[in-house]
Structure 1
Amino acid sequence: MPNVNSAFDSVEVRDSSKVAALDIGSNSFHLVVARIVAGSVQILHRVKQKVRLADGLGKDGVLSEEAIQRGLKTLEVIAESLQGFDPENVRVVATYTLRKAKNAKDFLKAAKAVFPFPIEVIAGVEEARLIYQGVAHTNHQQGQRLIVDIGGGSTEFIIGEAFEPKILRSLQMGCVSYTNRFFKNGELKPKNFLKAITSAQQELEMIDKQYRQLGWKTCIGTSGTIKVIIELASHLDSTTPENCVSKSDLYALMDLCCDAGNSENLKLEGLSIDRQPVLAAGLSILIAVFNSLKIEAMEFSPAALREGVLYEMEDHLQHLDIRERSAQSLATRYDVDVEHAKRVFNTTMALYQECKKAWKIDNKELKNLLGWAALLHEVGLQINTRGIQRHSAYILQNIELPGFGQEQQNLLASLVRFHRKKIRVDEIPEYTILGQEQVHKLMTLLRLGVLLNIKRQDNILPELSITTKGETVALRLPENWLQNKPVFSADLERECNYLKELDFTLEYN
């Protein structure tokens, strides 16, 4: 008779890790918990909370207190599902609403009190790239494909093949924002649809020709909006294949909406109460997409942004490689002096290793960001040698950097902005992913890495070491090494004065 108690005692258990991804969207918050084993992602748990954060985004760009509180309460609920998770195994990304809200930092600061994981606000193009990765890892069509994701505040468009996106765009139109603009009080009339469709097609004028020229073999829709529309279309008297929607289906659904007259009167099979208010807006956007891009039919993929985030959390799944490619592309485009960038990187990383524990910055992500800043600190050199730190910061602040979140990109720009010359503390923004003291420490290390390589020559530096104690940084050089180097000594003395702005004292011998 089998012994149940010992049945699995001899089963070989492979290494696995448990990860989670949270998508803080304009309409809903989506959490996905998964196990990564043998390079594959196994979904264990999903949580979806309707929040409609974009409802609280006013015309002045300020997120209402009511919307902030809705978001915070939802994060409290989700935090319970993430108890016991290591922060390095959780990635949280926020999209359109927190990208646009002028007071997004107020929300992010308040979130820290109820949610113990950093929230990363990502750019629209980065959102599109992650959506594509989610679809690419779960769908296996041959040839180029067009991906469309309608969110609460923005809609993303991607054309790619296999795992490589070729073109990425994010347009400012979503089912929540368009509901507020064109379907107030739930009114569903042909004129409302016409205005919404026309507005969406005007947005699409920026990309429609380029996308049609590039072309695609299959067209895939993601997000809850498209899922609901396809579900509703399946109940129509239509010849459209299962899990697909056609242009004629969309217009048939629009007619049903107009017949109802108001969203409260929409009684369609498959339509939930919480989707009633935003259906017309999502339908209008999708009709405009079909019209502008000449689409006849679209199929649905359940995988999207959060799945894309999950797949990139595994080192084997190319997240670091994507950052590397972004940095390499930037270095090539702006003719970075690669040899010098490597010198600064090696020195800065050596300094970091010596003081990371004493300064409590022993964190993989902080190390990576400091390293990228060291490699990219001179991207502005091509513009002008004079004020290179300002030119470099401007480029890093405004260019598209796939693989980097919005705040990570802003941090890179800040570190590079003050890698030399005077430091203006009032121009260093506050960050939610780390405290100001940590920013100041990273900036100090980068400045020293740059200063120590000011001669731009290999093998010129002696053996040196660095120690830190509180706000004191002690740079130890070989005895008498500075005696015959008056210019270098003057540079160090000047740096002592600069670092006082960060409340650090630099000592050297």
Structure 2
Amino acid sequence: MKIAAIDLGTNTFHLIIAEKSDSEMNIIYKTNKPIKLGEDITKENKIIPAAFERAINCLKDFKATLNQYGVTKIRAVATSGVRSASNGQDFIHTVKKETGIAIDMINGEEEASLIYEAVKYSGAIQGKSLIMDIGGGSTEFIFCDENGFYWKKSFDIGAARLMQKFFKSDPINQENQNQINQHLKENLSELIEFGETFRATTLIGSAGAFETYAEVLNPSIVLNEIANAPIDIEAYHQLSKKFLHSTHQERSEMPNLIPLRVDMIVMASMITDYVLAELGLKAITLSTYDLKMGVLKDLQNN
């Protein structure tokens, strides 16, 4: 039996297909497309026509791939970009009409739960940890250990949102950085309050920006072949400073920094820096398994 998950992120759409047997799941295909569904979304809180069209065309391609592989069970989930858009329901209706794909618009709590299941499956959780998944529209946080999660929440502080609101200089100036840190302080007080009691020691980054940190720091890493990997925290801090002090052009010339993340990696680094500093976390681990793998595992189990 072939099963598939589609993750309609604010920046990127992902498709992953697996062959399922009794208790095994073998990934046979995966791809992603930089759709930028959240382009200019902070202006009128709408998916703009160009992004709408890009998304529909991408999902038509995904549908053709699903047919080609003979997928019998599929779940497509939409997150912050669709959740928060005033025309999000119009988008879901149009996708169903034009591609036959039914989109499940999940809330932040379910998104965080699915991310936890994916990260647990990766083997990245060793002791008290904080999972962080930095998306374009939202960022999910889960305090957990190997036995389960103890607190989880999704916040509308994704990299694309921060960039549209605060990233007004090149390289980013101190005033913009101060505005972002103040915004994080105002929005993440609940996270910090719980975290000070929970005392996690490790930050686990779920794919996305953390894959970029890993690839830039270690160009020989092959992400498709690993489920998790440590990221040296001191090396990360040096890399973060480099991102913050570089221009758009300088970052675009950095190896393993894909065009979609050239500017957003600055925002991701600022979120990462803030959380590391506020909670005194001592180590960073990458999980290459994220929301789409959580959706796939959920399909496998049900």
Fold match (TM-score > 0.5): yes
The one-letter code of the counterpart of 1:264 is Q
Asked whether the 8 Å contact 1:23–1:94 carries over to 2, the reply is yes
**Pairing 1:243–2:230 present:** yes
Figure out how many residues of one structure are paired with residues of the other and give that number. 292
The one-letter code of the counterpart of 1:207 is L
2:16 aligns with one of 26, 32, 49 = 32
Q: CA RMSD in A?
A: 2.2
* Identity among equivalent pairs (%): 26
What residue in structure 2 maps to residue 297 of structure 1? 283
Give the Cα separation in 1 of the matches to 2:201 and 2:276.
15
Asked whether the 8 Å contact 1:133–1:163 carries over to 2, the reply is no
Q: Which whole-Å deviations, capped at 9, do the CAs of 1:159-215 have from their partners, x for residues lacking one?
A: 223363221111111111111112247542233233223322332212212123123
What residue in structure 1 maps to residue 96 of structure 2? 112
**Pairing 1:92–2:56 present:** no
Counterparts in 2 of 1:164 and 1:88: CA distance versus 1, 3 Å: farther
Q: Provide structure 2 residue ranges, at least 5 long, that are not aligned to the other structure.
A: 220-228
**Pairing 1:313–2:278 present:** no
Structure with more of its chain in strand, by fraction: 2
1:62 aligns with one of 46, 55, 59 = 46
Q: Provide structure 1 residue ranges, at least 5 long, that are not aligned to the other structure.
A: 1-16, 236-241, 320-509
Deviation, structure 1 residue 37: 1.6
What residue in structure 2 maps to residue 76 of structure 1? 60
Asked whether the 8 Å contact 1:233–1:249 carries over to 2, the reply is yes
What residue in structure 2 maps to residue 419 of structure 1? none
The one-letter code of the counterpart of 2:286 is F
1:56-455 equivalences in 2 (<5 Å): 56-83=40-67, 89-139=73-123, 141-162=125-146, 164-184=148-168, 186-234=170-218, 243-246=230-233, 248-260=234-246, 262-266=247-251, 267-314=253-300, 317=301
Deviation, structure 1 residue 87: 7.8
Give the Cα separation in 2 of the matches to 1:101 and 1:271.
28
Asked whether the 8 Å contact 2:171–2:245 carries over to 1, the reply is no
Give the Cα separation in 1 of the matches to 2:53 and 2:117.
32
What residue in structure 1 maps to residue 226 of structure 2? none
Give the Cα separation in 1 of the matches to 2:76 and 2:207.
18
What TM-score, normalized to structure 2?
0.88
The one-letter code of the counterpart of 1:210 is F
**Pairing 1:47–2:31 present:** yes
Give the Cα separation in 1 of the matches to 2:125 and 2:166.
36
3-state DSSP of counterpart to 1:207: helix
Counterparts in 2 of 1:250 and 1:84: CA distance versus 1, 3 Å: closer
What residue in structure 1 maps to residue 225 of structure 2? none
